[in-house]
Chain A
């Protein structure tokens, strides 16, 4: 069955630094979504990517969908304390949305 893997599981970042989290699927995806869950909160939708090679930006966040539509990345520049939380990718294919295990981000001030 379809599996979505995320790496790393944990990311400890110094405030002001950049980091990237990666999402890989065992199958080709129709689209990929990214969600953010703050500590104690629930997942909140960030963005959806549909096209091969698509790149979208939201302020300091850059999302990319791979050419083969089997992987995606989220890059955060100049990390702030407000970036703390768990970032999930979710890949959609064949009427099924599969979530990765998430990357939990902590920030050192």
Chain B
């Protein structure tokens, strides 16, 4: 079974802090994704990566950056956290093509106070 793990289930940070969310997948998938999930808005893509050191902006990249130094690990960085970034963050991975089914991690619920 594909396993996607995220570093924290719950995280509380203060406004202005730099926040790192880590995601690791164990199935050698090429593609990795970061989404945020908010009630009534579904899943919105922040960034994705199709290879090591490669990244593409999604629909809502503002205020976020990403890093993929190793194939299995994809990090989401909030350079200066703001209260409107309070949300559920979901990491996902997929094999070969972006059109393939995605495997999601358990999510990190981030609260910025």
Interface residues of A (CB under 8 A from B): 1, 6, 9, 30-31, 33, 35, 41-45, 48, 88, 90, 92, 95-102
CB atoms of B43 and A33 under 8 A apart: no
- Size of interface on B: residues with Cβ below 8 Å to A: 19
Main secondary structure, interface of A, reads strand
Contact of A92 among B43, B44, B99, B106 (CB under 8 A): B99
Can you identify 11 A-B contacts, CB atoms within 8 angstroms? A6-B42, A30-B99, A31-B99, A43-B92, A44-B104, A45-B101, A88-B43, A90-B102, A97-B45, A97-B99, A99-B35
Given the interface contacts A42-B90, A42-B106, A43-B90, does A99 sit within 8 Å of B101 by beta carbon?
no
B6: nearest chain-A partner, CB-CB: A42
Chain B interface residues (CB < 8 Å from chain A): 35, 40-45, 59, 90, 92, 98-99, 101-107
Q: Are B41 and A101 interface neighbours, CB within 8 A? A: yes
> A1–B44 Cα gap in the complex (Å)?
13
Contact B107 A42 (CB under 8 A): yes
B101 and A42 contact, CB distance less than 8 A: no
* The 4 nearest A-B residue pairs measured at CB: A101-B42, A99-B43, A45-B101, A42-B104
B-chain residues with CB within 8 Å of residue A6 when the two chains form the complex: 42
CA distance A44 to B106 in the complex (A): 10
> Chain B residues near A1 (CB, 8 Å)?
59
In the bound complex, do residue A45 and residue B103 qualify as a contact, i.e. CB atoms below 8 Å apart? yes
Contact A100:B99 (CB < 8 A) given known A43-B104, A44-B104: no
Given contacts A42-B90, A42-B107, contact A97 B42 (CB under 8 A): no
Give Cα A59 to B98, complex, Å.
28
Cα–Cα distance between A100 and B101 once the two chains are bound (Å)? 15
> Could you say which of A42, A95, A96, A98 has the most chain B C-beta atoms within 10 Å of its C-beta?
A42
| Complex CA–CA separation, A3 to B43 (angstroms) | 12
CB proximity of A26 to chain B, nearest CB, Å:
14
Centre residue among B35, B41, B42, B103 by max chain A CB count within 10 A:
B42
